[in-house]
């Protein structure tokens, strides 16, 4: 069990990381789902913008994040920023499996006395493997919905499946049309298009994010006075960790998005296309939106996650938890 030695009047040691067995799961799971949904709802426009920047060739439609926001709002309205959101929101279900796997693996490794940062790295990778297996089909659908009817001042449209995007059709009808088209063209495997690219992008992303989170938290605790809020230190560590991870893994995320939406056959082909189109700029494709999204997402997720852990902690540990 990790404790923080804190200089206080009663010389009490505080828990650095609230572990799985310390929490009341009947509180933790519903609060965790509510927090995850709220964060995803608030940050979804950044996800949509990031995806469109990654899919476009050169700067055919948008010159950058702010230009994309302005054009989407101008031509598609505010609702255009939330295309595909309702199907993407299924991620709150996969999130339950993700966090259960993460905490479960960390708990198992703690019994082997594995270093906390290595525990986080391994557990983060395992959690992403489980989460991606559940969410990839919904990711494929939501990304097609994100791109449906994409327009700019050049009137460029994106519709690789040739779906009839009649504005009078309901969101459910359009989603069903996309699902039917994918099933007809690719069979069931079409819903897992880019699955291995997703694993290649998100497993190391998740592993590194959790690993960096615990690494930065440990380092910040060494240099920041004990009087500073522990929750503040954790949110700062999560934000820096997200920033670092995003810079490292950005090309893999771009390849994943292109495989799932542009119907490219392999990761190698996607990399070749990116290199031919962008050269060294491929490493910055959609990076600005992804950095903003990642930093904001990391801050919000850790704030919600660590707050919920504190609220859900069992009574016997409550006096050893520092806010």
* The predicted structure's pLDDT at residue 126: 92
Q: How many CB atoms lie within 10 A of CB 278?
A: 16
User: Could you tell me if 48 and 293 are in contact, meaning their C-beta atoms sit under 8 angstroms apart?
Assistant: no
Burial class (CB within 10 angstroms; exposed 0-12, middle 13-18, buried 19+) of 95:
buried
Tell me the β-bridge partners of 15.
3
* The predicted structure's pLDDT at residue 318: 84
* The predicted structure's pLDDT at residue 248: 80
Burial code of 284-311, b = ≥16 C-beta within 10 A, e = fewer? bbbbbbbbbbbbbbbbbbbbbbbbbbbe
User: Could you tell me if 175 and 101 are in contact, meaning their C-beta atoms sit under 8 angstroms apart?
Assistant: no
Q: Which is nearest to 82 in space by CA: 42, 45, 50, 37?
A: 45
Tell me the β-bridge partners of 13.
5
* The predicted structure's pLDDT at residue 227: 80
Please list the alpha-helical segments (H only) found in the chain. Answer: 25-55, 65-76, 85-88, 91-110, 116-147, 171-186, 195-223, 230-261, 267-278, 287-312
- For the chain, residues with pLDDT lower than 50 are 1, 3, 5-11, 155-156
In sign, the C-alpha dihedral spanning 97, 99, 105, 111 is negative
Q: How far apart are CA 81 and CA 195, in angstroms?
A: 25
Q: How many CB atoms lie within 10 A of CB 118?
A: 12
Query: Does residue 313 sit in helix, strand or coil?
Result: strand
Q: How far apart are CA 151 and CA 77, in angstroms?
A: 11
List of domains in the chain: 20-320 (1.50.40.10)
* The predicted structure's pLDDT at residue 203: 86
User: Could you tell me if 288 and 48 are in contact, meaning their C-beta atoms sit under 8 angstroms apart?
Assistant: no
* The predicted structure's pLDDT at residue 237: 92
């Amino acid at each position: 069990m990790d404790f923080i030695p804190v200089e206080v009047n009663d010389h009490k040691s505080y828990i650095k990381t609230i572990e799985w067995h310390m929490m009341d799961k009947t509180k933790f799971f519903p609060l965790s789902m509510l927090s995850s949904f709220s964060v995803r709802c608030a940050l979804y426009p950044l996800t949509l913008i990031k995806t469109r920047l990654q899919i476009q060739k050169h700067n055919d439609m948008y010159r950058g994040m702010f230009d994309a926001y302005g054009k989407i709002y101008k031509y598609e309205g505010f609702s255009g920023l939330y295309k595909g959101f309702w199907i993407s929101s299924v991620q709150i279900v996969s999130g339950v499996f993700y966090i259960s796997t993460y905490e479960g693996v960390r708990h198992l490794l703690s019994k082997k006395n594995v270093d906390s940062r290595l525990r986080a790295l391994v557990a983060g990778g395992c959690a992403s493997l489980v989460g991606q297996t559940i969410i990839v089909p919904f990711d494929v659908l939501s990304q097609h919905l994100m791109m449906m009817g994409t327009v700019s001042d050049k009137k460029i449209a994106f519709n690789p499946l040739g779906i009839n995007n009649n504005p009078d059709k309901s969101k459910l009808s359009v989603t069903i049309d996309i699902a039917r088209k994918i099933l007809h063209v690719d069979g069931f495997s079409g819903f897992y298009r880019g699955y291995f690219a997703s694993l290649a992008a998100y497993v190391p992303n998740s592993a590194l994010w959790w690993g960096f989170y615990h690494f930065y938290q440990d380092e910040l605790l060494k240099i920041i006075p004990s009087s500073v809020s522990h929750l503040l230190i954790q949110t700062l560590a999560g934000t820096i960790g997200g920033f670092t991870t995003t810079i490292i893994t950005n090309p893999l995320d771009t390849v994943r998005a292109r495989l799932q939406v542009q119907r490219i056959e392999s990761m190698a082909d996607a990399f070749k296309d990116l290199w031919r189109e962008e050269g060294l700029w491929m490493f910055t494709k959609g990076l600005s939106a992804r950095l903003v999204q990642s930093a904001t997402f990391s801050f919000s997720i850790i704030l919600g996650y660590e707050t919920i852990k504190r609220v859900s902690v069992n009574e016997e540990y409550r006096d050893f938890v520092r806010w």
